[in-house]
Amino acid sequence: MEYVHTPVLLEEVLQFLGPRGKNELMVDANTGEGGHSYAFLSRYPDLKIVCIDVDNAILEIAKKRLEKYADRIYFYSGWSNEFFADYPSELRRPDTFSLTWVAVFSTTRRAEGVLVSARMNIWI
């Protein structure tokens, strides 16, 4: 399968958000095609990920991309605020929350943007 999106700052994101211990649970609140999740699951064999995206079509692409890690993934189709409002009882509290926000500003044909991705260790 051909993927349209190339994960940006991949090595930096892996290093900054990588698990600090065994059997951690990460929430990828903007999964897209699953590029970052794939890299995390490939590098960290004990990591489990909740993949959230509101776009069903793109989430299906992520499911295919990540199918070899199916036993370590929980998929949710919808908005992340809805997911957390009705957090599944079968999941434990996440260790890492990754919300990637990309803003692209362009006054020319050249793309300029900002990527924000952070480790969050809070629970409301």
Alpha carbon distance 51, 33 (integer Å):
10
pLDDT digits (tens, 9 = 90+) for 53-74: 999 999 999 999 999 999 999 9
DSSP 72: G
The pLDDT value recorded for residue 15 is 85
Residue pair 4/74 in contact (Cβ under 8 Å)? The answer is no
Q: Is the pLDDT of residue 112 over 90?
A: no
Question: What average pLDDT score do residues 99-103 get?
Answer: 50
Mean pLDDT of 70-94: 91
Contact 2, 109 (CB under 8 A): no
| Structural domains for the chain | 10-116 (3.40.50.150)
In this predicted structure, the answer to whether residue 87 has a pLDDT above a threshold of 60 is yes
- Contact between 83 and 52 (Cβ < 8 Å): yes
Out of 51-55, 64-68, 91-95, 105-109, pick the least confident: 105-109
Q: Do residues 52 and 81 make contact, with C-beta atoms less than 8 angstroms apart?
A: no
What is the value of pTM for the model shown? 0.77
- Per the prediction, the chain carries an average pLDDT of 80
